[in-house]
Structure 1
Amino acid sequence: MHVTVFGATGSVGRQVVDRTLAAGHTVTAHTRDAAKVRVEHERLRVVEGDVTTLAGCRPAVEGGDAVVITLGDGRRGTVREAGTRAVVETMQQLGVRRLVCQSTLGVGASRDNLTKFWRYAMFGALLRRAYADHVRQEEVVAASGLDWTIVRPSAFTDQELEGVRHGFGADVSGLRLKISRGQVADFLVAQLAEGDLHRHVSLSA
C-alpha cells in the first residue's frame, strides 16, 4: 500500500511514518519543511508544500492508496480544518478513497468521556480554538463521501501506558485521559487495513 501522511513531521506524524514503513508500505511524507524529515528510506518520498492548498496537496496524494492526517497547530485553530478540507478535495479529485484522520477525544459524543477540567478549563478556555478546529475538521471528513475513520485520542504523553482502550462509548468514565504518541501512531496505522469505515473511534488509557 502507498500511504500519504500529512503532518509527517509532527510528534505523532513522525511515528506514523516510521511505523508505516516498518509495516512494509510505501510512504509519502508531506511537510511544510522537508529539512525536518529525519529519516531516509528507499520506500519514503518527501513532498514539501502548503497543506491548505490543492496545489500543495496534490503531489503528495497522487499515486497513493490511502491518506493519514495528523495535522496539528498547537493552540491555534486554523490548519486542521483548512488542511483537511484541501486534502479531502484532492482525494476526491484523484479518486483516493481511504482516509484515517486523527482528531481528539472530546469531540462529539466523546465529550462525555472528559472530566470537568478537560471540558471547561482546557477545551472550554485554554485550548478552545484548537478544539473548535477539530470539530470543524471532523465535519469536513464526515461529509466527504470517502472511506473514512476518525480516531479520537486523549492527551499525549511519551510514556507507553497499560490498559489502553479503544472504541468505547460516551458512557465510559474513569479514564486516565492519556495515551502515548507511539500508541496513537500504532493505532492509526492499524486502521489502514483493519479500521471500520464511517466511524469515530475513541482511544485512551
Structure 2
Amino acid sequence: MIHFCFANNHFNFKKESNFFFLSFFLGWLVGCLFTILYPFLSFFLSSFLSFLVACLLAWLVACFFIYFLSFFLYFLSSFLSFWFGFSFSFFLSFFISFFLACLLTCLVGCLFTILYHFLSFFLSFFLSFFLSFFLSFLLAWLVVLFSFLASSFLDFFLRFFLSHSLLFVFLCASFFFFLLSFSSHIQMFLLPLIHSLSLSLSLSLSLSLYFHFLLNSAIFAR
C-alpha cells in the first residue's frame, strides 16, 4: 500500500510538474499582457491628452492669425485700391494662397506633434517590453530545463518534506509575488521584468498548489 502511494506520488509529481509549467507559461503570458496594457493606458491618459491640447492650441493660433490677416489684407487692399488702383482679385488670390499655407502649416504641426508623442512612446515602451519579454521567456525555459534535471530531487522533497508549514510558505510566497505585481503598477517603465515575472510566479504557485491538492485528494481517496 505504501509502495503504491509512493509510485502514484511519483506519477502525481510528473502531472504536477506539467501543471506547474503550464501555469508558469500562462502567468508569463498574463504578465506580458499587463506589461503591454499598462503603458498604453498611461500613454493615453497623459500623452494623448497633451496631444489634444497641442492640436487645439495650434488650431486656435492658426485661426487667430487667419482672421487677423484677413482683416489686415482687406484693409490694405481697400487702401491700395483707393490710392493706387490695384485690383481686389490680386489680394483675394494672395489671401487664399496664404490661408492654404497656414492650414498646411497647422496640419504639419499637428502631424509633428502626433509623431513626436508616438515615437517617444514606442521607443521607450518597446525597448522595455522586448527586454522583459525575452528575459522572461529565457527564464521560463531555464526553469523548465532545471525542473526536468532536478525531478528526482524534487520528488524526494515532495515525498518526505511536504507538510502544512511548507504549504504555508508557498502561500506566503505566492501572496508576496502577488503584492509585488500590484506594487510594480505604480512605476511606469522602472521594473517591467519584475512585473511580468511576479505575476507569472504568483499564478504558477497558486495553480500548482491547487492541482497538487486535487491530485493528492484523488490518491488518498483510492
Q: Which of the pair has the greater relative contact order for Cα pairs under 8 Å at 6+ separation?
A: 2
The higher radius of gyration belongs to 2
Please indicate the TM-score interval, normalised by the length of the shorter structure: under 0.3
Q: Which has the higher helix share?
A: 2
TM-score normalised according to structure 1 size = 0.22
TM-score normalised according to structure 2 size = 0.21
